[in-house]
C-alpha cells in the first residue's frame, strides 16, 4: 500500500508530496507522472514513480495498486476533463484502492458556474464506482490573484466584473496541507469537505490592501462582463477560457465562492493564511 499523488508535477502536487515527506517515509509514497524525466526530482528522493497519462487510459492500469490511498488531482485541460477523470476513476476502481481523494470545486453538485461542470461529472463517477472517497472541494487559490501583482502595480488597478461580491480563497499551501491531513489521517472516508479561506473579501478590499502595503494607489475597477471578456481576449486567452473566467466573475458577484465553512482550517489545525500575508509575500518576491 502506498500514498499516491496524481498530477505530481503540478503546483499542488509538488506541495502535497513535500508535506507528505514530512510525515511518512519516501518509500511509502508514489508519484504519478507522465515520464521518468518529469519525475526525476521525486525519484531522487526515493519516491516511487508510476508513469501514466490522463489522456491514455491504457497507461492508468498500473498507476494504482490494491489498498493505495490516492490523491486524485483534477486535470487542467478544461473541456477534456470529463473523459480524463472517468478513466482515472475506472482505473482506481479496478485496482481496488482504499481511498480516492479528489480535488473538486467549492460547492460540489450545487456549484452554479460552468467551471464546476466537469467536477460534478467526476464526483458522480466516483460515487457510482463505489470506491471509498474523500471530496476535497477546493475554493479559489489566492495565488491566482497574487500572481497578477505586477499588472496591478503597473496599472494602479485591479480589473474585473465581480462587483462587490465576496470570495474566500486560500493559498495552495493551505489546500495541500489539508490533502496531507486527509491522506495520512483517519475518519475521512466517504466525506465531502468544502474548503475555503476563513475570511471572504471583495476585490475592492483586495485592491485596498495592495495599496496599503505598496504605499501607492491601487483601486478595483468593475466593468461589464462583456468588456472584461474583451480584456481577457486582448491578453491572449482563448475565447472558451475567457468565457469561463467571466462566468466565474458572475459567480463571485452572486456569492457562490464566498463560503467560509471552516472545513479547511479544521483539517489543517490552524487559521487559513490571510490575504494580507499572501500579498506581503508577493510584494517581497517582486523586490527580489
The CATH code of the domain that includes 228 is: 3.90.25.10
What the block records as the C-alpha cell of 99 is: 481511498
Domain count, the chain: 2
Three-state DSSP at 241 gives helix
The answer to whether residue 79 scores a pLDDT higher than 90 is no
Which of 35-39, 102-106, 169-173, 268-272 has the weakest average pLDDT? 35-39
What the block records as the C-alpha cell of 118 is: 466537469
Q: Which residues contact 264 (CB under 8 A, 6 or more apart)?
A: 139, 170, 174, 175, 178, 193, 195, 196, 197, 198, 272
Q: Report the greatest alpha carbon distance in the chain.
A: 57
What the block records as the C-alpha cell of 219 is: 483601486
The reply to whether 176 falls in a domain is no
Q: Is the pTM of this model over 0.85?
A: yes
State the chain's mean pLDDT as an integer: 96
Taking only the tens place, the pLDDT of each residue in 1-21 is 899 999 999 999 999 999 999
Length of the chain: 288
The reply to whether 213 falls in a domain is yes
The pLDDT of residue 270 is 98
161 and 132 assigned to the same domain: no
The reply to whether 76 falls in a domain is yes
Q: φ, ψ for residue 51 (rounded to 5)?
A: -85, 120
132 and 7 assigned to the same domain: yes
The answer to whether residue 252 scores a pLDDT higher than 90 is yes
123 and 57 assigned to the same domain: yes
Band of residue 130 on the pLDDT scale cut at 50, 70, 90:
very high
- Give the CATH number, domain containing residue 105: 3.40.50.720
The answer to whether residue 45 scores a pLDDT higher than 90 is yes
The pLDDT of residue 76 is 83
Band of residue 229 on the pLDDT scale cut at 50, 70, 90:
very high
Contact (Cβ atoms closer than 8 angstroms) between residue 38 and residue 104: no
| Residues above pLDDT 90, as percent of the chain | 96
Average pLDDT over residues 87-105: 98
30 and 113 assigned to the same domain: yes
Separation between Cα atoms, residue 278 and residue 94, nearest integer Å: 41
The reply to whether 173 falls in a domain is no
17 and 121 assigned to the same domain: yes
Neighbours of 135 (CB within 10 A): 26
The reply to whether 193 falls in a domain is no
Q: Which residues contact 288 (CB under 8 A, 6 or more apart)?
A: none
Average pLDDT over residues 174-184: 98
| Strand boundaries in the chain, DSSP class E | 3-5, 29-33, 48-51, 69-73, 99-105, 133-138, 157-160, 191-195, 219-222
126 and 210 assigned to the same domain: no
Taking only the tens place, the pLDDT of each residue in 163-173 is 999 999 999 99
The pLDDT of residue 33 is 96
* Residues pairing with 72 in the sheet: 102
The pLDDT of residue 286 is 94
Band of residue 50 on the pLDDT scale cut at 50, 70, 90:
very high
Residue-number span of the structural domain to which 45 is assigned: 3-138
The pLDDT of residue 1 is 84
233 and 116 assigned to the same domain: no
Q: Which residues contact 202 (CB under 8 A, 6 or more apart)?
A: 162, 164, 165, 166, 167, 220
The pLDDT of residue 149 is 97
Neighbours of 37 (CB within 10 A): 7
What the block records as the C-alpha cell of 199 is: 475570511
Band of residue 100 on the pLDDT scale cut at 50, 70, 90:
very high
The pLDDT of residue 254 is 96
Separation between Cα atoms, residue 218 and residue 208, nearest integer Å: 6
The answer to whether residue 288 scores a pLDDT higher than 80 is no
Amino acid at each position: 500500500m502506498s500514498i499516491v499523488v496524481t498530477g505530481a508535477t503540478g503546483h499542488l502536487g509538488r506541495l502535497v508530496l513535500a508535506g507528505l515527506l514530512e510525515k511518512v517515509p519516501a518509500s511509502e509514497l508514489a508519484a504519478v507522472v507522465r515520464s521518468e524525466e518529469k519525475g526525476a526530482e521525486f525519484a531522487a528522493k526515493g519516491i516511487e514513480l508510476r508513469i501514466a497519462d490522463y489522456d491514455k487510459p491504457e497507461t492508468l492500469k498500473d498507476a494504482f495498486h490494491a489498498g493505495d490511498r490516492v490523491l486524485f488531482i483534477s486535470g487542467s485541460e478544461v473541456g477534456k476533463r470529463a473523459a480524463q477523470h472517468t478513466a482515472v476513476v475506472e482505473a482506481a476502481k479496478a485496482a481496488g484502492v482504499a481511498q480516492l481523494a479528489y480535488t473538486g470545486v467549492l460547492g460540489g453538485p450545487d456549484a452554479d458556474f460552468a467551471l464546476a461542470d466537469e467536477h460534478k461529472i467526476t464526483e458522480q463517477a466516483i460515487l457510482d464506482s463505489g470506491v471509498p472517497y474523500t471530496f476535497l472541494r477546493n475554493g479559489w487559490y489566492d495565488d491566482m490573484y497574487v500572481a497578477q501583482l505586477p499588472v496591478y502595480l503597473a496599472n494602479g488597478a485591479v480589473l474585473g466584473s465581480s462587483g462587490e461580491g465576496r470570495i474566500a480563497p486560500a493559498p495552495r499551501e493551505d489546500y495541500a496541507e489539508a490533502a496531507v491531513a486527509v491522506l495520512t489521517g483517519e475518519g475521512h472516508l466517504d466525506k465531502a469537505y468544502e474548503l475555503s479561506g476563513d475570511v471572504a473579501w471583495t476585490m475592492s478590499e483586495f485592491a485596498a490592501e495592495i495599496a496599503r502595503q505598496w504605499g501607492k494607489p491601487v483601486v478595483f475597477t468593475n466593468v461589464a462582463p462583456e468588456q472584461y471578456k474583451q480584456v481577457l481576449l486582448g491578453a491572449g486567452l482563448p475565447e472558451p477560457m475567457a468565457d469561463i473566467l467571466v462566468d466565474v466573475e458572475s459567480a463571485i458577484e452572486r456569492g457562490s465562492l464566498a463560503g467560509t465553512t471552516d472545513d479547511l482550517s479544521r483539517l489543517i489545525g490552524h487559521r487559513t493564511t490571510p490575504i494580507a500575508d499572501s500579498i506581503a509575500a508577493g510584494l517581497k518576491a517582486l523586490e527580489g
